[in-house]
Amino acid sequence: MIIQGKEVKVYDNGGVSNDRYTVVIDGSVFAINTVPFHPTYGFSQYCGEVEQGYTWNEKWGVEVHDIRELPEETVNAIIARFE
């Protein structure tokens, strides 16, 4: 999907791990959970670049095609990564 001119792909592992969502923004890979801004449980981390070998694997889960399916905090964390 294209959001604010950026190519964004989001994968959901269904909650198997704390870093539930793998997000690829213009080739940069991030791991984010459902409460990324929570001071204790939040998780939003840069992992690396697709060109460094980060490619989809089954642990990433299924692709989310509609960003409205995600928690609002997760969407805000994704958009914050645009800067």
Per run of 10 residues, the mean pLDDT along the chain (length 83 residues) is 91 94 95 96 95 84 93 95 86
Compute CA distances 76 → 33, 53, 55, 67, 79, whole Å. Answer: 12, 27, 24, 11, 5
Cβ-contact 44, 33 below 8 angstroms: yes
pLDDT for res 59? 82
Terminal Cα-to-Cα distance of the chain (whole angstroms): 18
pLDDT for res 64? 95
- Domain limits, the chain: 2-80
How far is the C-alpha of 21 from the C-alpha of 39, rounded, in Å? 18
Question: What is this structure's pTM?
Answer: 0.89
pLDDT for res 38? 96
pLDDT for res 22? 95
